[in-house]
Amino acid sequence: MKREEYKKKKASWAKTKRFLKISAFTFLIAAIGATAYLFKLHNQTVAVLDRSYAPLAQKEPQELHVEPAKDKISILLVGVDESEARHQMEGHGRSDALIVATLNPKAKSVKLVSIPRDSYVYIPRVNYRDKIAHAHAFGGTAASIDTVESLFDIPINYYIKMNFNAFIDVVDALGGVEVEVPYERIEKDENDNNAIHLMPGLQRLDGRHTLALARTRKLDSDIERGKRQQMILQAMIKEATSIKSLTKYSDVINALGENMKTDMTSKQMLSFIEYVKTGMPEVDTLTLSGYDDMSTGIYYYKLDERNLEETRQILKSHLGLIPDSSSLTELNTTQTASELAHQ
């Protein structure tokens, strides 16, 4: 009887060993496959980012070299319409969105400032004041950077420029973004056709509808438009940091393709993984208040000087250029200068 039990146990152990061997072999093959895919994905990422690398010859070399995810840095995010029709009419084309992002790795925080496209500012390239969106038409990305540096009195360490196609494809690769649409409106698509029907409410939008939401301003103002762009950017960051599928990473990388330009190297861009791998950074959005002006017969958005100076101080503090000004952050994000004036 004991002999029969022994044979059964031996047979069972043999089956177990065979199962373990097969499992181990399967796991090894899967691990090799995953490693090969990750290696391929890494190479694919580097190849795309290397194609996107476009240093600005016109811009003076930085006095102090900074590294993303290690140092406090500033980035200018430029959204442009570089369609064939716009390119023929305007050359460089105007910037459709300008957002300054300052990153503080130690505090693990990001500050975002959307600059209304009709803001009346000094443009160094032409040595006179005009709409900030015109800076890109006057001298491309370098002229936009010079103008923003003059406006906020801070260095812009890097830039990332994306056209509408990249924006649409990235949002689609993320599986869409969840955002609040403020009202119903028929809006222009990426080809300037009235083909996008926005409906109000919290919802998940695809790339084309998200772009239309980012651009719309006819029923409110450039300030609200800037707030929507910040909301969309935060939603994109949230989706990107929650990606668990390797194929989604690949889709996002492919979406960038030839539609993004930056003066960060692939190594510098990849270092941002360190910035977000432990979770979502704290993101503060700042608003530039001002007023509409038609005194010259041309519409301009005149920035409130007090609010602008407060924003300068906040950005300088976040970049470590001056001592901390956290009290100003609270002031800027909860009350505009115009609201204070009526108290």
Instruction: Give residue-wise pLDDT tens across range 12-60.
Output: 555 555 555 565 555 555 555 556 666 767 788 888 888 889 998 755 5
204, amino acid identity: R
Q: β-strand 95-104 against 109-114: which pairing, if any?
A: antiparallel
What pLDDT score does 309 carry? Answer: 97
Between CA 272 and CA 279, with CA 277 as vertex, the angle to 5 degrees is: 115
Are 159 and 62 in contact by the 8 Å Cβ rule? The answer is no
DSSP, residue by residue, 210-229: HHHHHH--TTS-HHHHHHHH
Q: Which domains does the chain have, with CATH numbers?
A: 53-341 (3.40.630.190)
pLDDT at 65: 64
Other CB atoms within a 10 A radius of the CB of residue 99 amount to 20
How many Cα atoms occupy the beta-carbon half-sphere of 174 within 13 Å?
26
Q: Can you tell me the distance from the alpha carbon of 40 to that of 244, in angstroms, rounded to the nearest whole number?
A: 17
pLDDT of the residue at 283: 85
Q: What is the pLDDT of residue 338?
A: 42
Is 72:102 a contact under the CB 8 Å cutoff?
A: yes
224: CB partners within 8 A, 6+ apart: 182, 217
Q: pTM of whole model > 0.85?
A: no
* Per-residue pLDDT at 2 exceeds 60: no
pLDDT band at 244 (very low <50, low <70, confident <90, very high): low
Window from 82-91, 139-148, 242-251, 284-293 with minimum mean pLDDT: 82-91
pLDDT > 90? residue 336:
no
Q: CA-CA distance, 79 to 99, in Å (whole number)? A: 9
pLDDT at 278 over 50: yes
Neighbours of 141 (CB within 10 A): 24
| pLDDT the model gives residue 150 | 97
pLDDT band at 331 (very low <50, low <70, confident <90, very high): very low
Asked which of 83-97, 160-174, 237-251, 284-298 is least confident by mean pLDDT, the reply is: 83-97
Number of other residues whose CB lies within 10 A of the CB of residue 10: 10
